[in-house]
Amino acid sequence: MPPELFLSGLSPEELLDVLSPLPAFRANQIFKWISGGVSSFDDMTDLSLSLRRELSGRFGIYSSTVDGRFGDASDSGNAEKISLRLRDGAMVEAVLLSDGFSGRKTACLSTQAGCPAGCVFCKTGSLGFLRNLDSSEIVEQFFYLKAIAGGGIDNIVVMGMGEPLLNLGELRRALRVITHKKGLNFSKRRITVSTCGIAEGIRDLADKGPGVRLALSLCTAREDLRLRLMPLARQNPLPRLKDALSYHQKKNGQRITLEAVLLGNVNTTREDAAALVSFVRGLDAVVNLIPWNPVEGLSFEGKPLREPGEKEIKDFEKNLENGGVKFTRRRRKGGEVGGACGQLGSLGGGAKKEEFL
Ligand code: SF4
């Protein structure tokens, strides 16, 4: 019979519970092996053969398998997207981004199969929502990408499929494993969680940690337009969101990233720039401009979405500059493999539409 419990997403404290009556040092040994990328009890050479056999009979380590791997190279770097098959057959995707200039490697992780948020510019949002991932399914994406990277990953962004703050409990457990000092000890300062704007979740993160960086996918600071582009904006109006961001910033003192996906002829007007300038006021924030990555079939109010032109972007940047806003423009990576921002799920994913909001 296949195992029902998988150990990859468990902290040493949780392992101790599950492995009872094994002593704490055994749980720590096993945690260390798993954190080092070992996916079979046979390779845990400091455990006796009989213990390895017993563990193999009771538990699995990884609950998912890699189903496909897709690469894309450009001047600005490489992207490798993997698709993972979960134990119930659901599919999720994760991406390894390598910066061509700095050489830094970033793992982009998913937290849900599909997404209930339904942002109109996002492929994942168009798939509907299947289910939340559990801790092991999130951690395993990191392990697989780490193996592809040949060991070193510099940053983690939780910006893949799904809205992380709607699955905060399992995300917290996964980050606890990845940042645990008995294992990978990955720095929390090098992890960014990106939300489409769940005010309550932002406050929860501020109150209970785990002290990672925060990015808000704002898209536009014009409330009327945001409501039409991002359905979750209805429950999370901009003043509420800004209050939550200020609260978060007061608690952990970190600069916040505001992401603005630029949609050609939709949210790049002078009015949009002015609204963004006013939203940023009072926050220590940097705006990350993300020219929309094309996804076939996505439209807004009857018109197909399109990439913004270079002049359109430049004019928008000029307006931000005049308003004193700090901003960067994200270089495109991963577009060829459908691994760029907003493109995940282009392999399908088996997600079913489900009424959520
Ligand atoms: S942008 Fe993020 S939150 Fe919005 S639909 Fe896509 S995955 Fe979900």
The answer on pLDDT for 197 being more than 90 is: yes
Neighbours of 264 (CB within 10 A): 17
Highest mean pLDDT, choosing among 2-6, 97-101, 197-201: 197-201
Atom 3 of ligand 1 has which residue's CA nearest to it? 163
pLDDT in tens, 24-59: 999 999 999 999 999 999 999 999 999 999 999 999
The answer on pLDDT for 351 being more than 50 is: no
pLDDT in tens, 206-246: 999 999 999 999 999 999 999 999 999 999 999 999 999 99
Strand-pair category, 299-300 with 303-304: antiparallel
> What are the start-end ranges of the H helices in 86-127?
123-127
How many angstroms is it from 186 CA to the middle of ligand 1? Answer: 25
Residue 163 Cβ < 6 Å to ligand 1:
yes
Residue 249's closest CA among 196, 286, 288? 286
Q: Hunting for tokens 């940097």 — which residue is that?
A: 286
Known catalytic residues are 93, 341
Higher pLDDT among residues 75 and 157, named by residue: 157
How many angstroms is it from 118 CA to the middle of ligand 1? Answer: 6
Residue 115 Cβ < 6 Å to ligand 1:
yes
The answer on pLDDT for 350 being more than 70 is: no
Q: What are phi and psi of 99, to 5 degrees?
A: -75, 125
pLDDT in tens, 69-118: 998 766 567 899 999 999 999 999 999 999 888 889 999 999 999 999 99
Write down the mean pLDDT value for the chain.
92
pLDDT for position 3: 74
How many angstroms is it from 30 CA to the middle of ligand 1? Answer: 35
The answer on pLDDT for 276 being more than 80 is: yes
* Closest ligand 1 atom to 163 CA: 3
Using a pLDDT cut of 90, give the percent of the chain over it. Answer: 84
pLDDT in tens, 115-131: 999 999 999 988 899 99
Whole-prediction pTM value? 0.93
357 band by pLDDT with thresholds 50, 70 and 90: very low
Residue 124 Cβ < 6 Å to ligand 1:
yes
* Closest ligand 1 atom to 159 CA: 2
Residue 83 Cβ < 6 Å to ligand 1:
no
How many angstroms is it from 346 CA to the middle of ligand 1? Answer: 13
How far from 59 is each of 62, 67, 147, 173, 243, CA to CA, in Å?
10, 22, 22, 19, 45
Atom 5 of ligand 1 has which residue's CA nearest to it? 125
pLDDT for position 331: 73
* Closest ligand 1 atom to 118 CA: 5
To test ligand 1's pocket by mutation, which of 120, 163, 298 has the most ligand atoms within 8 angstroms of CB? Answer: 163
4 band by pLDDT with thresholds 50, 70 and 90: confident
How many angstroms is it from 135 CA to the middle of ligand 1? Answer: 20
Beta bridge partners of 289: 260, 329
Distance CA 206, CA 163 (A): 17
Torsion of CA 153, 173, 194, 164, to 10 degrees: 130
